[in-house]
């Protein structure tokens, strides 16, 4: 029993160490900056908006003060414990496949790299559509291109990678209106492609380089700056390639309420008024 407790404690410590390293790495920082920017732009003029942050990728509730209510969904107890240790608020631990939220609950859903890890991505998207309000926005990031598959994908439990056309098709099939889709992290696309061709693992080598050395810190800071430039570039154009796909999709708003009146009674009823529920 004691050995099992020690093993569990060591596993938890390793998980926390990995979470800390990931949180400070260039990719997670760049993605966090992008997710936060999308949230701020989407909800700029909305009061009392509700946001579902899948995996806590945007860390919106760490902003002081947070301008909207954020629900941080976690899929595992270890990740929930880590975020609780970081003093995150409104933590909910539930399966992505079965979201424990009422329908029409959120103005914005931020899904930072989660869709590729579920077995049935169509079912997951339909679940997100259900909990999103009419006219609400879903912002997704997913890894791009099947030919970039690596051992890192397997380690993280990924099931697939996407092209923009494939993600658009799946979102449309599930009832979303896709507003925009682009690639991101174009800076590392060519090195990553060459590394896959050489059967190297770029992300593994990056993980091994993560540390307290001056060289690693400088490289990390340089990558963050480059991806911040890409993020600003996204304001004007869609990037033609990259190691990540980013997508904006909206749940269609109910434009008008249809009122059915029996033919014999129509002469006594005035024309139905349009009921707008869009924000």
Tell me, yes or no, whether 30 lies in a domain. yes
Full residue range of the structural domain in which residue 46 is found: 2-265
pLDDT at 73: 83
With vertex at residue 218, the alpha carbon angle to CA 215 and CA 223, rounded to the nearest 5 degrees, is 125
Tell me, yes or no, whether 275 lies in a domain. no
Q: What is the CA radius of gyration of the chain?
A: 21
Tell me, yes or no, whether 273 lies in a domain. no
pLDDT at 15: 63
Of the pLDDT bands very low, low, confident and very high (cuts 50, 70, 90), residue 91 is confident
Q: If you average pLDDT over residues 178-184, what whole number do you get?
A: 96
Strand ranges across the sheet with 177-184: 91-93, 69-74, 50-54, 106-112, 132-143, 244-250, 177-184
CA 100 to chain centroid, in Å, comes to 18
Tell me, yes or no, whether 79 lies in a domain. yes
Of the pLDDT bands very low, low, confident and very high (cuts 50, 70, 90), residue 65 is low
Structure tokens at 4: 């099992």
Tell me, yes or no, whether 271 lies in a domain. no
CB 58 within 8 A of CB 112: yes
Q: What is the pLDDT of residues 208-250, one digit of tens each?
A: 444 456 777 888 888 899 999 999 999 999 999 999 999 999 9
CB atoms closer than 10 angstroms to residue 36: 17
Q: What is the pLDDT of residues 92-145, one digit of tens each?
A: 777 777 788 889 999 999 999 989 989 999 999 999 999 999 999 999 999 999
CB 144 within 8 A of CB 193: no
- Domain count along the chain: 1
Tell me, yes or no, whether 121 lies in a domain. yes
Q: pLDDT exceeding 90 applies to what percent of the chain?
A: 40
CATH code for the domain of 245: 3.40.50.150
pLDDT at 207: 45
pLDDT at 72: 83
């Amino acid at each position: 029993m004691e050995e099992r407790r020690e093993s569990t404690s060591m596993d938890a410590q390793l998980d926390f160490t990995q979470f800390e390293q990931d949180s400070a790495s260039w990719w997670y920082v760049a993605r966090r900056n992008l997710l936060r920017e999308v949230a701020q732009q989407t909800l700029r003029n909305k009061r009392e908006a509700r946001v579902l942050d899948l995996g806590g990728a945007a860390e919106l509730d760490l902003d002081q003060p947070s301008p909207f209510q954020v629900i941080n969904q976690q899929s595992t107890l270890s990740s929930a414990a880590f975020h609780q240790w970081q003093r995150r608020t409104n933590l909910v631990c539930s399966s992505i496949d079965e979201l424990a939220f009422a329908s029409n609950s959120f103005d914005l859903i931020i899904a930072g790299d989660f869709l590729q890890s579920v077995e049935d991505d169509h079912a997951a998207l339909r679940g997100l559509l259900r909990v999103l309000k009419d006219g609400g926005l879903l912002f997704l990031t997913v890894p791009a291109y099947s030919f970039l598959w690596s051992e890192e994908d397997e380690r993280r439990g990924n099931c697939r990678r996407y092209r923009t056309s494939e993600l658009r098709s799946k979102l449309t099939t599930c009832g979303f209106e896709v507003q925009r889709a682009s690639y991101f992290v174009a800076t590392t696309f060519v090195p990553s492609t060459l590394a896959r061709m050489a059967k190297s693992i770029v992300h593994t080598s990056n993980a091994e380089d993560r540390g307290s050395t001056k060289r690693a810190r400088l490289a990390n800071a340089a990558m963050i700056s480059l991806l911040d430039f890409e993020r600003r570039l996204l304001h004007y154009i869609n990037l033609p390639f990259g190691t990540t796909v980013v997508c904006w999709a909206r749940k269609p708003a109910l434009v008008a309420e249809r009122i059915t009146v029996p033919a014999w009674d129509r002469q006594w009823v005035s024309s139905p008024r349009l009921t707008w529920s869009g924000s």
